[in-house]
Amino acid sequence: MAEKTANKHYSNMTEGSILGALVAFAVPMMLGGLFQDLYSMADMTIAGYTLGDHAIAAISASAAIVNMMNYAARGYNMGNSILISNAFGEGNMEKTKRALIAMIVLCVAYSAAFTALFLIFLEPLLNFVNTPAELYSDAKLYAVIIISGLTCTMFYNVFACAFRALGNSKIPLYFLIFSSLLNIALDFVCIVILRLGVMGAAIATIFSQFISAVLSGIQFFKVFPEMKFKFSDTKGIDPVVADMFPVGISVAITNSIFSIGAVSVQGAINALGSDTIIAQSACSKIRMFATIPSVNIANAVATFAAQNYGARKYKRITEGVWTGIGLSAAINVLTYLIVFFFGGRIAQLITNTKNDDVVFMASTMLRIEVLFIWAQTAVMSFRMSIQSLKRKVIPMVGTGVELVIRCVFAFVITPLIGFRAISYAEVASWLISGAVMAVCYFILINGLVSGRNRQI
């Protein structure tokens, strides 16, 4: 690297063992994902045991809309952080700092714009996903509170992504653990003690993210004092913002396209009734745990690719992609055995449902989806590596393929065969989009190696 730094909190992934680098980076993120999913599940479990199936269904009915917003926000920050990783991979610390400043400036603008946008279109979206009348008011209340707290979510993600862009996945883990435990405690206070219902679940989630955003920002500048800046440092930042904005928007749009497919599927689920809503929500929560290795290995591959792209080590990027996919496939064997034998029982425990149909549907969906988690790692690794190469259009095309597949299953297949089509939609989107992204990736990477490549 051109500029050496003695700061132990940086991690250079352009040298040394590829497997070691990916594991060292991914394991803290996996633990962070575990705690993040724990506090996500806390809403369902505490609400289920305290308020019953109605509260679970109300929270779940708006889940696709809330997730669409969160995926877009997370994608925007992940896209922006690519420039931080690229600059760090080059060894240019001044450029790295300016990329961070641009990321924060863009975060402020994005938070204001998207909070207003989602609040304006919330009711049409709730209608689009066929929210049942008996759940509508609680589903809307939950979504309004979560959307209003988008700024908290955005600023937490800014610093989490910045830490990871610099190769440090441990410190974000500590804040995720703290935030998870705080969220669970606040769920108990707001739902059980104060009896605020679904509103309490939303308040607990947003407040825990607010505290984490503040503390992670303080910690970031404490461990990376060379990244501190004054307001005057924002002068002349326009070229960096102009370079970063399309990359961040590209990843946000990619995630949004994916989420539109999820919203379409949610509409098909809601049309099948409350039992299917609860079963799919339980399946989704359990699958989140099963996909923790998959998602975070892919995230590790993305950071690995971004740093090595900055260092112009293109063949090493491909070695990292294959290493990540192989590691995920090995772990997938264990996760599938767990859900195959215990998936139904886990679904019953987290929902406290006494409905055997709900347990059967959740167990069936888990057995279908978790079998193919390795394919999710593949599609994410190829797509996110392409994004790390600062290519904007191709990842959106891949996610567009997923959208088409999900919509076909939601609007055509689900009415014909029922709830199983929801799981088939997930698997088909992973396999087909993964194949498309793999072909595009190798065309791009071979072009980089041979020196003939265009920015697309």
Query: Got the DSSP string for 288-334?
Result: HHHTHHHHHHHHHHHHHHHHHHHTT-HHHHHHHHHHHHHHHHHHHHH
Query: Does the pLDDT of residue 1 top 50, yes or no?
Result: no
Query: Does the pLDDT of residue 435 top 90, yes or no?
Result: yes
Spatial contact of 296 and 104, defined as CB atoms under 8 Å apart:
no
Query: Does the pLDDT of residue 294 top 80, yes or no?
Result: yes
Query: Does the pLDDT of residue 82 top 80, yes or no?
Result: yes
How high is the pLDDT of residue 7?
56
Residue type, 216: S
Which tokens is 36 given?
């993040």
Q: What is the average per-residue pLDDT within 327-334?
A: 93
Residue with the larger pLDDT of the pair 49 and 134: 134
Which tokens is 45 given?
């479990």
Instruction: Compute the chain's Rg from CA coordinates.
Output: 21
Rounded CA-CA distance 300/327 in Å is 12
Query: Does the pLDDT of residue 101 top 90, yes or no?
Result: yes
Beta strands in 316-384 (DSSP E): none
Query: Does the pLDDT of residue 39 top 90, yes or no?
Result: no
How high is the pLDDT of residue 44?
66
Q: What is the average per-residue pLDDT within 167-175?
A: 86
Rounded CA-CA distance 84/168 in Å is 13
235-262 exposure pattern, b = at least 16 Cβ within 10 A, e = fewer: eebeebbeebbebbbbbbbbbbbbbbbb
Query: Does the pLDDT of residue 4 top 50, yes or no?
Result: no
Question: Percent of the chain having pLDDT more than 90?
Answer: 32
How high is the pLDDT of residue 2?
43
How high is the pLDDT of residue 9?
61
Average pLDDT score over the chain = 86
Taking the model in full, what pTM does it have? Answer: 0.71
Longest distance between any two alpha carbons in the chain, whole Å: 64
DSSP secondary structure letters along 144-212: HHHHHTHHHHHHHHHHHHHHHHTT--HHHHHHHHHHHHHHHHHHIIIIIIS--HHHHHHHHHHHHHHHH
Residue with the larger pLDDT of the pair 124 and 89: 124
Which pLDDT band holds residue 274 (cuts at 50, 70, 90)?
Answer: confident
Which tokens is 283 given?
């399946």
Residue with the larger pLDDT of the pair 62 and 194: 194
Which pLDDT band holds residue 230 (cuts at 50, 70, 90)?
Answer: confident
Listed in sequence order, the residues at least 6 apart from 452 whose beta carbon sits closer than 8 Å to its beta carbon are none
Reported as a single tens digit per residue, the pLDDT across 182-223 is 888 898 899 889 988 889 988 998 998 899 999 999 999 999
Q: At what angle do helices 93-120 and 150-165 cross, to 10 degrees?
A: 160
How high is the pLDDT of residue 397?
86
How many of the other CB atoms lie within 10 Å of CB of 24? Answer: 17
Half-sphere exposure of 9 (CA within 13 A, CB side): 17
Question: 333-337, 380-384, 395-399: which has the minimum mean pLDDT?
Answer: 395-399
Q: What is the average per-residue pLDDT within 349-358?
A: 84
How high is the pLDDT of residue 320?
94
Question: 260-264, 328-332, 444-448: which has the minimum mean pLDDT?
Answer: 260-264
Question: Percent of the chain having pLDDT more than 70?
Answer: 94
